Amino acid sequence: MTQLHHLDAVAQASALRSREVSSVELVQHHLDRIDRHADDLGAFITVTAELALEKAAEADRHLAAGTAPAFAGVPTAFKDLTPTAGTPTSMGSVFLREFDPPANAHVVDLMQQTGFISLGKTNTPEFGLSSYTDNDLVGPARTPWDTSRNAGGSSGGAAAAVAAGLIPLAQGSDGGGSIRIPASACGIFGFKPSRGRVSAGPLGSDWSGLAGDGPLARSVRDAAALLDAIAHPMPGDVRPLPDPPVPYSQWVDRPPGPMRIARWSATHLEGIAPGPDAIAAWESASALLESLGHEVIDIANPFPQALEPQFNVIWSSGIAAAALPPDADALLRPNTRYWRERGRAASAVDLSRALQFLELTTRQVISDLQSYDAFLTPTLALPPQPVEWFNESGDPATDHHRELLFTPYTALYNMTGQPAASLPLHWSAENLPIGIMLATLPGQDGPLFSLSAQVEAAAPWYERRPPGFA
């Protein structure tokens, strides 16, 4: 018999509707796996077992009565940056260990309305600032493919939990790669939607246009189903996109047709280059796309290096403006203090100039790319790295440079607002997952799902599971 955690969320929902399994059984099965594996992975900051089982019993009653929504009784979890009323939302910080938000994020309400049941809050770095997941609450999140290596960040706990079968899918957020980075490091599918596709409200802010929520999943169809649940404009949104005319779940079943796919592997940063594993994954993906009838065209990296310092002004200004009391700095990690100090050094003129530079520069890049349908790069320049690699120097500036060595590609699509996905198409000789990144033009989330599903069908990854977590 197939193990329950081997089913993706769509299959779990089907099994629940046919009464092959109850939600209580399904939720308990995943809670048992969390008990067995979560400490080794650092996947969760908070587990809400009692509440989850109460919600599961309620889902079973609705399923029996025929009044259940599509994903009633299916387990999931929320990133600990995402406000969840009644459950601590620490944002990965000791300072906010007991913080109970006054309201849910819209994504929480929307997923619960679709029937998903949260098993808790997944691990994240302090305030989501880094491309690796570590904090002073529960420590690092680790990829289940090699638990000596970091799961990536900032949705590292979510990605590790999904990859190890602790939950079938999860919500993540992405302001500089924070969905796609851990998706690559954990060997799963991660999708960053177009800017404005998912509401940041009611408590979150999209002031910079960089960050947004999206799915982490083992199958493309699960990711599409989750985005269908949360991609709805809400009152007061600053950059709302309308409900898609065609559900993303339907795009998964649509052949994409021949596409012109531009590819590049060079980074936009001087002195930073992809390693051999990243190049091997990128070349293999290029050949696969060509075999599927797409035209793959080499172009120079269209993004200028001048974006990096301006991005850093915006990134640091956000955390510098966080409403924390003066004595909070003593409790913050060195990486967080580093970014707050950089942000405090920037003036309002610096921030305005940076925002305008990003807007004007990325507008030109998007204009120049209009003749292409999609874009292919490595997701990361390096494989998952040892846990200690990111901050062993003790110097946050050196640590930041190592993050650039690790992830020089992902933040560019946060600047442009394009949809982008990491696909687990390659494994290194050491059996470490190496993702490749596909993106489309802004607003073209549906075609990106079609292309991703076509690639998944041609080179299936779902049955490949990390040893020790099968």
pLDDT, mean of residues 131-155:
98
Q: 38 vs 211, which has greater pLDDT?
A: 211
Residue 426: φ, ψ to 5°: -145, 145
Contact (CB, 8 A) for 203 and 83: yes
pLDDT at 94 over 90: yes
pLDDT at 1 over 70: no
Using DSSP bridges, classify how beta strands 169-174 and 212-217 pair: parallel, antiparallel or unpaired: antiparallel
387-419 pLDDT tens trace: 999 999 999 999 999 999 999 999 999 999 999
**Nearest CA-CA partner of 192 in 439, 390, 459, 363:** 439
Contacts of 176 (CB under 8 A, 6+ apart): 131, 210, 311, 315, 407, 410, 411, 414
**Stretch among 79-93, 323-337, 456-470 having the lowest mean pLDDT:** 323-337
247-294 pLDDT tens trace: 999 999 999 999 999 999 999 999 999 999 999 999 999 999 999 999
- Decide if 55 is catalytic: no
Q: What is the mean pLDDT of the chain?
A: 97
pLDDT at residue 150, as a whole number: 98
pLDDT at residue 165, as a whole number: 98
What percentage of the chain has pLDDT greater than the value 70? 100
Q: Which of these is catalytic: 79, 121, 265, 452?
A: 79
Contact (CB, 8 A) for 168 and 187: no
Q: Which of these is catalytic: 154, 155, 219, 265?
A: 154
What whole-number distance in Å separates Cα of residue 149 and Cα of residue 436? Answer: 19
Using DSSP bridges, classify how beta strands 374-378 and 212-217 pair: parallel, antiparallel or unpaired: unpaired
pLDDT at residue 449, as a whole number: 99
Report the predicted TM-score, pTM, of the whole model to 2 decimal places.
Answer: 0.98
Handedness of CA 206, 207, 208, 209 (dihedral sign): positive
pLDDT at residue 95, as a whole number: 92
Using DSSP bridges, classify how beta strands 260-263 and 374-378 pair: parallel, antiparallel or unpaired: parallel
227-253 pLDDT tens trace: 999 999 999 999 999 999 999 999 999
pLDDT at residue 325, as a whole number: 84
Q: How far is CA 303 from CA 128, 268, 419, in A?
A: 24, 6, 16
423-447 pLDDT tens trace: 999 999 999 999 999 999 999 999 9
- Decide if 154 is catalytic: yes
37-59 pLDDT tens trace: 988 999 999 999 999 999 999 99
What percentage of the chain has pLDDT greater than the value 90? 97
Q: Which of these is catalytic: 178, 199, 219, 316?
A: 178
pLDDT at residue 323, as a whole number: 87
167-176 pLDDT tens trace: 999 999 999 9
Give me the domains of the chain, ranges plus CATH numbers.
Answer: 4-458 (3.90.1300.10)
- Decide if 22 is catalytic: no
